[in-house]
Amino acid sequence: MSKCIITGASRGIGLATAKLLISRGHQVLCLSRTPCPEKEVSWENVDLQRLDENQDLKGKIEKFLDGDKKFSLVHNAGSLKKDSTLNLSSSQFREVLEVNLVAPLILNQMVLPLMGEGSSIIYIGSTLAHKAVAGACSYVSSKHGLVGLMRATCQDLVGRMIHTSCICPGFTDTEMLQTHLGADPEIVKSVAGGVSFGRLITPEEQARVVEFCIENPVMNGSVIDSNLGQIER
């Protein structure tokens, strides 16, 4: 049995990953503002937008780990807002960056002193870590940055036998995506039409990719496109 800390494991890919790991006999700690509905998952109420103000979190993580040195940290939580380079305010830009990019850095610095050989840090990026669409400036910028943070993590941890990777999910059927698309069936259908299989990916499919990266050090430094084959236009 091993342990895993997942941000935003109260829904979407994070919740699916938590459920999968629990079914495999792991212990999971969810860091989020919303409670995790999976009763076997431990939960700490954490506002990732104000993580540097949380003075008690490291102690709570240490209590969860209970001396275990081999564990995983999955940076799953994300903030997706409709905005544009033309009208994005600096304050909203900072808010998204705090959740999507700054919080992973702070958490890394919290847990790395506790991590031993065989541990892993997994980043959940996005297909928009490689390209861009209109109307998602802050999200696109932060996810591009997340790939850079993963690569920096890989280089800075050389010799510690801790592996890292960044998974870039394609269009996955999550509450975040549905909200962003306005839950409009026609828009959802159009988005699914851009996938070679003609459908959205399930969170459970993405969870299996996360599990694979956690368990395989050979993925160290890798950026994985789990997008079901996007149609280039």
Residue 177 lies in a domain: no
Span 37-95, pLDDT tens digits: 999 999 999 999 999 999 999 999 999 999 999 999 999 999 999 999 999 999 999 99
**pLDDT score, position 1:** 62
CATH of residue 7: 3.40.50.720
Interatomic CA distance for residues 198 and 220, integer angstroms: 31
**pLDDT score, position 182:** 79
Q: How many domains does the chain have?
A: 1
Q: How many CB atoms lie within 10 A of CB 197?
A: 9
Residue 69 lies in a domain: yes
Handedness of CA 101, 106, 109, 115 (dihedral sign): negative
Residue 176 is which amino acid? M
Q: What does the buried/exposed string (b/e) look like for 111-126 if buried means 16 or more CB atoms within 10 Å of the residue's CB? A: bbebbeeebbbbbbbb
What range defines the domain where residue 19 resides? 3-170+202-226
Cβ atoms of residues 142 and 101 within 8 Å: yes
**pLDDT score, position 193:** 87
**pLDDT score, position 15:** 97
Residue 90 lies in a domain: yes
Residue 17 lies in a domain: yes
Residue 186 lies in a domain: no
Residue 120 lies in a domain: yes
Size (the chain), residues: 233
Name the DSSP class of 158.
T
Classify 183 in phi/psi space as left (phi over 0), alpha (psi -120 to 50) or beta: left
Span 156-214, pLDDT tens digits: 999 999 999 999 999 898 878 778 777 778 888 888 788 999 999 999 999 999 999 99
Which residues share a beta bridge with 28? 4
Q: What is the pTM of this model?
A: 0.95
